[in-house]
Structure 1
């Protein structure tokens, strides 16, 4: 049933004009690439989020983009290695990573507190990041659809409150993330709040 639900969600997203509204009303979640499939290192994180949360912080990695599952798998590994081995975090900092291949890669998932936006925002927000640099270019539509599907999934699963608020990373920390082009896009999302 879950597989059928995921296929239905992605089919609805493909319909122009209908997809976004239909997926928000559907209790299905699109496919999320589990940690095991992108060969994530074991997590050493234990602090859980108090669900549901009110906020979603959108960022970009400012690194290389990826537009195929093989490249995105490698990029997710690179981000985790940088966070866990270089920065000393307990895992990849984000709850979810969005690839230009249109897939969502599980980071810490819905339940574990991230390290994406500082001590004030980490305990009360889900952090999603787009893999790539979006200062001068926009993510492709399939990546935007994947992110929107993920947020609808969060509401359906009780991880996000129905009237959640989307923030750009630059609104909660001093940074250029999520990049100028992606920031313009998320400002048009219905749940965006300045």
Structure 2
């Protein structure tokens, strides 16, 4: 059985900025079709994907999209939903294989990575900027859990759609840790699938998060989502379960 985080996980960058992680139980996940490899971390890479599905604007819609995506992935011979986490347009984060297990799609990459999917197609519209705040909160929590290094690279997964790739690239350029998807991140057999020109390596300062992250149970009706451009500041996690 996949381990469960009981209740909804709230990620707080500051008292006024709260983000939710909905665990597998809350979106109705199936059990993985075969055992998943353990993810020990810490990763040095965050890879951003798009689900190529309809977007979702409220938690109930997002849960349905994530549930259908898991069914589709398993039917395509994946052990489970392809990603570690997914982010909806409602700003909610949805647990895929989570922090404890490798995402099935990770076999394409030579370095340990956390794979995050943005729910939507983004062929004709830009990625909503508020989704970056949920991504930053997820990155901060991953670092606090020692699942992601303080110095890391964030990149986009290769896409067959040039428009979608541009939309995701524009979204990620707001991150100092961004590096365009290049061959040196892929396993040799995957390198022929991309012809992207490498950009110079980015020198990344330590980005250890520094504001408290609060954990609590909550129904998705009462979950509060807010965005902010403020930088996180250091504090120990506080855990509250009900």
TM-score, normalised with respect to structure 2:
0.64
SS of aligned partner of 2:26: coil
What are structure 2's unaligned runs of at least 5 residues?
A: 1-6, 181-242
Following TM superposition, by how much is the alpha carbon of 1:134 offset from its aligned partner in structure 2, in angstroms? 1.4
Aligned to 1:52: 42
Q: Does 1:61 align with 2:51?
A: yes
Whether 1:34 aligns to 2:38 is no
Alignment-derived partner of residue 169 in structure 2: 183
**Paired positions, count:** 171
In 2, Cα distance between the equivalents of 1:10 and 1:40?
30
Write 1 or 2 for the structure with the bigger share of helix: 1
Report the counterpart of residue 82 of structure 2 in structure 1. 93
Name the SS of the counterpart of 2:133 in structure 1.
helix
Question: Deviation at 1:122?
Answer: 7.0
CA distance in 1, matches of 2:36, 2:11: 32
Structure 1: runs of 5 or more not aligned: 15-29
Q: CA deviation at 1:12?
A: 4.4
TM-score, with length taken from structure 1: 0.79
Counterpart check, 1:79 vs 2:66: no
Residue by residue over 1:117-164, the C-alpha shift from the partner in whole angstroms, topping out at 9 and shown as x without a partner, is 5x3417611110001011221232332211111011111110000011
Give the root-mean-square deviation of aligned CA atoms.
Answer: 2.3
Residues 124-135 of structure 1: pairs in structure 2 closer than 5 A = 124-135=112-123
Q: For residues 160 and 14 of structure 2, what CA distance do their matches in structure 1 show?
A: 33
Q: Is the Cα contact below 8 Å between 1:57 and 1:166 reproduced in 2?
A: yes
